[in-house]
Structure 1
């Protein structure tokens, strides 16, 4: 008999966690697992990539304002009964938030509950804001049979905030389809033109505060307008801050140096053709975009975020990790612009590191985790 697993997530938008969830369920053994992905809201570009063998459900057709506050009016037990109509062997909240509170309302003790934590939380409120208060949060967290973290630093950060909530912990790295990424990266693109006269930078992600594209634009302002460096930046993604970021580019007169490529189903061909990938994020979980950059052999410079040392080496053997500070990222980037030979060395390291991301090995560990849980 197959193990029935439900993965519950807010939506299948274009974020890294959503993409990784689709990669994971698509590659799990369909002869062993009966898998359902359920979203609170039926939105998101990643839904189209789910295999036909994966069951898909949703609670609401569209996102509505104030949903977090509305959910808090009802008990988790009521919400679970309302939204989760079937019995499963394992129910997973794949992203910390409203779904984590709802799943904790499960009253069937035979069902194993799992939460997946993607971010390195530094403030208790980031975790508590979907709950009525901290007491409710801590009470409901204890309902979970296991907690999965995508990076060691994510686990350590959670433990610092809530040392009394340490339960059964597991670190399971994100599933990335390396072979497919490499194949797609060979498609032709005409936006990024190789030129020895300037450096092509790229960054990929939703245009939200977390990604801190605004400080990357300010860094470009210093590089181009103050230091007179020949450099271009390509931003790949969409999001609520898109117009604000475009206005910032105009303010600094960087229209000939910063290009918005929008959303593309194949970001890999752009990343491969760039000289350097820049991650300016305030925080990450285990960066899918950085992982994909290494797979296609594009060197990485990033701010210090959860999972970066696991990706780039504890001593930065495979890329550059700066302090999570605008000025430090700027100084390290200027050093690379001034020393192209360092970029060449980093590219060799990226190619070397990109070879370790094997789907089969990661899926095997995830399946073993589920098998042992039941």
Structure 2
């Protein structure tokens, strides 16, 4: 008898969490498990990449409102839910000011919106063996899904996430297991929620080398092909967290040092775009620091770069760094708190200081030292980064 598994995620927009979910679904054992995918809002370029063996549940209108503009919620006649969104925004702004949060009220607003909306949302009728909430916030699976066991996924460094931890703790208590994507990520979570230690398990992001290499065969567009151009690629949401502002300043300094043939390509989208464009203009890098926007398939760009760089301020475990390893690229990442769990410094890549100068030195070293680049590449191409065996941990929980 097959076990019934539910996996829930907000949408399938381009992002690291969604990309890791696609890899996991691509590797799932469908001979033993029936997998229902609950997508709260049926949008996103990754919708077309969902394996055919997955049963995508119909969209539930009330589940889709949490990231829509309030005006659109009103247009769709979701009046009560629109009101809870406005109320959540108002209270979150007050809370964030009292807590002196650097990133504002966005995360707390999401928490409060789901809390206040809980009694308005319908429950799923089907009962599952296991229900997985794959992305935070986890309220819907916690309160609206019936299952023998429930698992919530942790993808980020919770010591850096600006949320109402007490409010979140009430939700975590509804889950039997909390799966973190790395040991470092688990430790940062544990430092914030020490009482949840017994629920924690590590299930790394699933990487499917065959899938990634196949996707990388497509031809990239809008990227230099000239041999004399040194191409850097980074992938990530356009946000303060990803450190692309540091990257702009670093490229400006590299050009001033005479390394004007370096071009930096960013794949991603997000609310930080205007600030980045202003910085690019300020440093006269319009032709060298290039925002490529959304790309359903980032792998051809990674494959065709000379250096992959992750300039983040913090990460849980960056999916794209693992993917750059699979594609055999030299890698530079900043020393964010979980960096040492991402790669072995000097073996699989280089970890530089988390600063503009750190990025400048790291890039310049890899630009000038061909032997170092070849050493890193030779090391990673000999390694097997397939880790579908990580799913065995999940299967044991389901059983």
With normalisation by structure 2, the TM-score equals 0.81
The 10-residue stretch of structure 1 (10-19 or 361-370) with the greater mean CA deviation from structure 2:
361-370
Query: Whole-Å Cα distance in 1 between the matches of residues 43 and 123 of structure 2?
Result: 17
For 1:41, what is the secondary structure of its paired residue?
coil
Q: C-alpha displacement at 1:198, in angstroms?
A: 4.2
Q: C-alpha displacement at 1:287, in angstroms?
A: 1.2
Which residue does 1:64 correspond to in 2? 68
Which residue does 1:322 correspond to in 2? 352
Q: C-alpha displacement at 1:304, in angstroms?
A: 2.4
The 10-residue stretch of structure 1 (356-365 or 61-70) with the greater mean CA deviation from structure 2:
61-70
Which residue does 2:23 correspond to in 1? 23
Contact (CA 8 Å) 2:218, 2:300: kept in 1 or not? yes
1:91 aligns with 2:131: yes
Query: Whole-Å Cα distance in 2 between the matches of residues 246 and 59 of structure 1?
Result: 37
Query: Whole-Å Cα distance in 2 between the matches of residues 107 and 14 of structure 1?
Result: 26
C-alpha distance after superposition, 1:238-271 (max 9, x if no partner): 2333343233212211122222323233321221
Which residue does 1:335 correspond to in 2? 365
Contact (CA 8 Å) 1:12, 1:45: kept in 2 or not? yes
For 1:201, what is the secondary structure of its paired residue?
strand
Query: Whole-Å Cα distance in 2 between the matches of residues 167 and 267 of structure 1?
Result: 37
Contact (CA 8 Å) 2:207, 2:385: kept in 1 or not? yes
Which residue does 1:131 correspond to in 2? none
Query: Whole-Å Cα distance in 1 between the matches of residues 390 and 202 of structure 2?
Result: 11
Query: Whole-Å Cα distance in 1 between the matches of residues 363 and 340 of structure 2?
Result: 18
Contact (CA 8 Å) 2:5, 2:129: kept in 1 or not? yes
CA RMSD of aligned residues (A): 2.4
1:73 to 102, 116, 121: 116
Which residue does 1:259 correspond to in 2? 290
Query: Whole-Å Cα distance in 2 between the matches of residues 136 and 264 of structure 1?
Result: 35
Contact (CA 8 Å) 2:208, 2:388: kept in 1 or not? no
1:96-135 equivalence runs, <5 A: 96-97=136-137, 100-105=138-143, 111-123=148-160, 125-126=162-163, 128=164, 134-135=165-166
The 10-residue stretch of structure 1 (295-304 or 242-251) with the greater mean CA deviation from structure 2:
242-251
Q: C-alpha displacement at 1:221, in angstroms?
A: 0.8
Q: C-alpha displacement at 1:175, in angstroms?
A: 1.1
For 1:72, what is the secondary structure of its paired residue?
helix
C-alpha distance after superposition, 1:136-173 (max 9, x if no partner): 43233222111100000011001111212222221111
The 10-residue stretch of structure 1 (154-163 or 227-236) with the greater mean CA deviation from structure 2:
227-236
1:238 aligns with 2:281: no
Q: Assess, with a 3 A threshold, how the Cα gap between structure 1 residues 307 and 36 changes in structure 2: closer, same or farther.
A: farther
Could you tell me which runs of 5 or more consecutive residues in structure 1 were left unpaired when the two chains were aligned.
129-133
With normalisation by structure 1, the TM-score equals 0.86
C-alpha distance after superposition, 1:89-136 (max 9, x if no partner): 111111121xx123222585x62111110101114643x3xxxxx444
Which residue does 1:357 correspond to in 2? 385
Contact (CA 8 Å) 2:114, 2:139: kept in 1 or not? no
Q: C-alpha displacement at 1:211, in angstroms?
A: 1.4
Contact (CA 8 Å) 1:148, 1:170: kept in 2 or not? yes
1:176 aligns with 2:207: yes
Which residue does 1:215 correspond to in 2? 246
Contact (CA 8 Å) 1:150, 1:285: kept in 2 or not? yes
C-alpha distance after superposition, 1:284-329 (max 9, x if no partner): 222111111111111100012465423322x442111123333322
Query: Whole-Å Cα distance in 1 between the matches of residues 295 and 167 of structure 2?
Result: 40
C-alpha distance after superposition, 1:39-74 (max 9, x if no partner): 222222212111222122333356423643433224
Q: C-alpha displacement at 1:83, in angstroms?
A: 4.3
Which residue does 1:160 correspond to in 2? 191
Contact (CA 8 Å) 1:194, 1:200: kept in 2 or not? no
Query: Whole-Å Cα distance in 2 between the matches of residues 312 and 368 of structure 1?
Result: 27
Q: Assess, with a 3 A threshold, how the Cα gap between structure 1 residues 360 and 157 changes in structure 2: closer, same or farther.
A: closer
1:193 to 225, 248, 257: 225
Could you tell me which runs of 5 or more consecutive residues in structure 2 were left unpaired when the two chains were aligned.
71-84, 86-109
The 10-residue stretch of structure 1 (24-33 or 294-303) with the greater mean CA deviation from structure 2:
24-33
Contact (CA 8 Å) 2:14, 2:295: kept in 1 or not? no
